Amino acid sequence: MGYLLHLLVALLGQGLAETGWTTGWDAPWFVLLALPVPHLLGWIGHALFLRGKFRASAFAVRSLGIAAPVLHVLAVCAFGWLDALHRWFGDGVSLAGWPRAGLLVALVRQSRTRFPGTRIGRKIDRRFSISARSFGRLHA
């Protein structure tokens, strides 16, 4: 349940942006600059760990853990991402408009592909049972 706080922060940011708590900037292209931030933090944390700088590495990994929700709040509240989506596509993402009928169709299609009687379902079941058996042998 470690991701629950991340989801709540993301929903809070979405709600703040929809109620007008934004900077008013129209800079959605800054979101592209934020995309490599988690990858860079992970790379930096790994490099610091390999060099033996464990405290700095731990700080980079902790920063990596909070980077996604913070960047989401920046995108929707500071960079005007929601307004840009509405301007580009004519329809934006909102908390009031969720879930839509398209989500129900996607869930039904997803449940059909994961049905245990299909070939893919049997593969997944076989892999899971093998890994469960090996896990039981290791930790018995």
The reported pTM is 0.64
Looking at residue 65, its pLDDT comes to 87
Looking at residue 2, its pLDDT comes to 73
Looking at residue 108, its pLDDT comes to 64
Mean pLDDT for back-to-back runs of 10 residues, the chain (140 residues) = 82 88 87 93 95 95 91 92 84 70 63 54 50 46
Looking at residue 132, its pLDDT comes to 44
Three-state secondary structure of the chain: CCCHHHHHHHHHHHHHHHCCCCCCCCCCCHHHHHCCHHHHHHHHHHHHHHCCCHHHHHHHHHHHHHHHHHHHHHHHHHCCHHHHHHHHHCCCCCCCCCCCHHHHHHHHHHHHHCCCCCHHHHHHHHHHHHHHHHHHHHCC
Looking at residue 89, its pLDDT comes to 81
